[in-house]
Amino acid sequence: MVDLSSVNAFIPGKVELGAQEAGMIARRDRLLGPAYRLMYQKPLHFVRGEGVWLYDAEGRKYLDTYNNVVSLGHCHPDVVEAITKQVAMLCTNTRYLHETILELADGLLSTVSSELSHMMLTCSGSEANDLAYRIAKVRTGGTGIIITETAYHGITDSVSQFSPTLGEAVPLGSHVRTVRAPAAYRSGPNVADRFARDVEAAIADLQRHGIRPAMLIVDSIFTSDGILPEEPGFLKGAVEAIRNAGGIFVADEVQPGFGRTGSHMWGFQRHGVVPDIVTLGKPMGNGQPIAGLLTRHDVVEKFGNSARYFNTFAGNTVSCAAAVAVLKVIQRDRIMDNAREVGAYLLEKVGALRSRHQCLGHVRGAGLFVAADILRDRESQTGDRARTTRIVNAMRDDGVLISACGVDHNILKIRPPLIFSRENVDLFVEVLDKALEA
């Protein structure tokens, strides 16, 4: 039985499709095999993107309110120019001297506390977390990992063992412990204490089983746990707990990083902590496959002295040129200010819909990352997965793209490119309002 339980997956046979789409889906199945999934009940076939817009094969445009990869917008001209120039000049790897990787390291490291003094590059967020775990094991002598209950950190063999959202068919490692996600809006005040106590209990359980803790790793905005930005600062106690137990703290910035939260370049900075390792991904190259990590010298010293690190494509000159361009645009165009200002407007407008729609529960966000619970009723706070699916698909039919997340699959995940405008928000809210009404 194929698992199609993931949030917002296309389920064959549910709705009638045009001949072209049906034909392409059949070819995908034949050529790509059973592991791939498509989004939406009517899968989309895009041929072009520009800014916040995606264009399908018929020329219809869709407002992309779901893209944290091209977070400066589709086909951003500065990134396109940087890649084009570099690919026409030279594409080589990190075994040769090259200026651009150094410029990138200088740029990235200037955005974090000076203790974090090294950058290492990978091709994906999964590889970054895989590398972080290898470093953590060497640094701590342990293997134990603590994650939140609905975490996602990636797809390699070792990382899939600490990515519970891959589903029950993908087993968690026996060295992995999960803790409740720090959802202040569900569990009430003292979220920091509760989270720290849960992490301490997980540490004790690892130790009782003879497993030495290596790392606590969290997505610092808890995306797949339902997007949990409130109240900033709640990570401190948990970070202390893992360090006291000899482990390290890894902040996975694949989702909140590169300015999405509006107030800070990195999600962990909202919490007033400095991680031992920061992992980076998706938005880093605005679509180019570049990811990596930042860390302290003492954390990586033993690993670096004992293991050679070479990753053929990671840190190639073209990907580095893309990432340097991304950093420049974030600074030059005051992208974080836009994320903060337009994000606040988006949060306010989505929140205002609560008075008209009983099914709309808690609405929360940080910058251009907003979540809204869809409930059966507010009294019981029971999530309404079926309605969430209908809303996501109705919006898609009306030309606006979002998706859903959370343990009950009932949370609207609103995550537009960081160049989103107030005008884009107005259109988004109009379409959301209509979908909630239906």
Which residues contact ligand PMP (rule: CB under 6 A)?
124-126, 129, 152-155, 219, 223, 252, 254-255, 281-282, 291
Residue closer to ligand PMP by CB (options 218, 400) is: 218
Closer to ligand PMP at the Cβ: 142 or 267? 267
User: Shortest Cβ contact with ligand PMP: which residue?
Assistant: 125
Tell me how far, at minimum, the Cβ of 373 lies from ligand PMP, in Å.
Answer: 20
255 or 288: CB nearest ligand PMP: 255
- Select 221 or 394, whichever has its Cβ closest to ligand PMP: 221
- Asked if residue 364 lies in contact with residue 370, where contact means CB atoms within 8 angstroms, the answer is yes
| 291-296 and 116-122 beta bridge pairing | antiparallel
Give the span between the Cα atoms of 388 and 91, in whole angstroms: 45
Cβ distance to ligand PMP smaller for residue 8 or 431: 8
Q: Which is nearer to ligand PMP, 153 or 409 (CB)?
A: 153
What is the SS3 string spanning 89-138?
HCCCCCCCCCHHHHHHHHHHHCCCCCCEEEEEEECCHHHHHHHHHHHHHH
Rounded CA Rg of the chain: 21
Strands 61-64 and 53-56: antiparallel
Q: Could you tell me the smallest distance in angstroms from the CB atom of residue 129 to ligand PMP?
A: 6
Residue partners of 240: CB distance under 8 A and separation at least 6: 196
- Rounded to whole angstroms, what are the CA distances from 66 to 24, 114, 371? 23, 33, 12
Q: Shortest distance, CB of residue 67 to ligand PMP, whole angstroms? A: 12
- Cα–Cα distance, 420 to 186 (Å, whole number): 29
Q: How far is the CB of 349 from ligand PMP (least distance, A)?
A: 26
CB of 156 to ligand PMP, least distance (A): 8
**Percentages of the chain per state (helix, strand, coil), in multiples of 5:** 40, 20, 40
In whole angstroms, how close is the CB of 281 to ligand PMP at the nearest point?
5
In the complex, least distance from residue 64 CB atom to ligand PMP, rounded to whole angstroms: 16
* Residue number, 223 or 316, with CB nearest to ligand PMP: 223
Q: What is the DSSP string of 284-348?
A: GGBTB--EEEEEEHHHHHHHHHHS----TTTT-HHHHHHHHHHHHHHHHTTHHHHHHHHHHHHHH
